[in-house]
Amino acid sequence: MSRNHLPPCVPINTAALFCFHIQHRISWLMMDDINLHYRFLNWRRRIREVRAVRFRERYKRMLKEGDILSYRGNSDEVGCYVAPRPLSKGNCYFEVTIMDTGVRGMIAVGLVPQYYKLDHQPGWLPHSIAYHADDGKLYNGKTVGQQFGPKCNRGDRIGCGIYLEKMEADLVTVFFTKNGKEVGSATVPQSPGGLFPAVGMHSLGEEVRLDLQVEWGGGAEDDDSAMAVDSGEDDWGRLHDICVSGT
């Protein structure tokens, strides 16, 4: 092609080209914002899922109906329940009321790490501790218990809590109660995720009521009831004096 037949040059519209680049850049920025937004939503969803798994109660060979736990094994296997949240400053105590002792009354109440094996009684494995109702023994990370307190029967309340003022970096002081009165205390290694309320059962017919919201009054309830009894005895004594002496 000769120079005389070259196609005419098309004038470049600088303003139009600039607008095109700006619009293209804006589109990319908008897409980045949309992708960032979806990534943020996905991140929040995953956090909720992790939290839901973390704060989920776990139990095996048990039936849970409301606040009632019932053993559902064959008596050769342990059933265990672990609460969804550990004891803390705002909730440092819980109680279990024995509704039925079943065949052997092998009910255990205590604290365990979050991912405790559900085929073991609380207190049998390291970093766990429990008061066993059938023999009154304390199991502190071992399968052999030590004599600790009285045995517990139907209608008794077993409580378990932690002393916040005695907490250390690696040790926690755990105390147990029977019917609102402290039985004793012991130390247990602190678990990284905290210590979770746990209930163990091991024979047919065992059933308890779980109360994770009860507050520990340091035995004040028993003191008040004792004072009421003493007051009643005083009133009865005064009434007896009036009847006898007439004054």
Average pLDDT over residues 185-204: 95
Question: Percentage of the chain with pLDDT > 70?
Answer: 69
24 within a domain of the structure (yes/no): no
Alpha carbon distance 94, 161 (integer Å): 6
What mean pLDDT value characterizes the chain? 82
Give the per-residue pLDDT at 168: 74
Q: What is the pTM of this model?
A: 0.69
Q: How far is CA 46 from CA 18, 73, 78, in A?
A: 42, 35, 34
3 within a domain of the structure (yes/no): no
Pair of tokens at residue 12: 């470049």
245 within a domain of the structure (yes/no): no
Q: What is the domain range of residue 156?
A: 54-225
Give the per-residue pLDDT at 241: 46
143 within a domain of the structure (yes/no): yes
Average pLDDT over residues 155-166: 93
172 within a domain of the structure (yes/no): yes
Confidence of residue 217 (pLDDT cuts 50, 70, 90): confident
Q: Which range, of 72-76, 111-115, 156-160, 176-180, averages the lowest pLDDT?
A: 72-76
112 within a domain of the structure (yes/no): yes
49 within a domain of the structure (yes/no): no
- pLDDT tens digit string along 117-154? 999 999 999 999 999 999 999 999 999 999 999 999 99
Alpha carbon distance 186, 147 (integer Å): 12
83 within a domain of the structure (yes/no): yes
Give the per-residue pLDDT at 236: 36
* CATH number for 198: 2.60.120.920
Domain count, the chain: 1
Beta strands in 7-128 (DSSP E): 58-60, 62-65, 68-71, 79-82, 93-101, 108-112
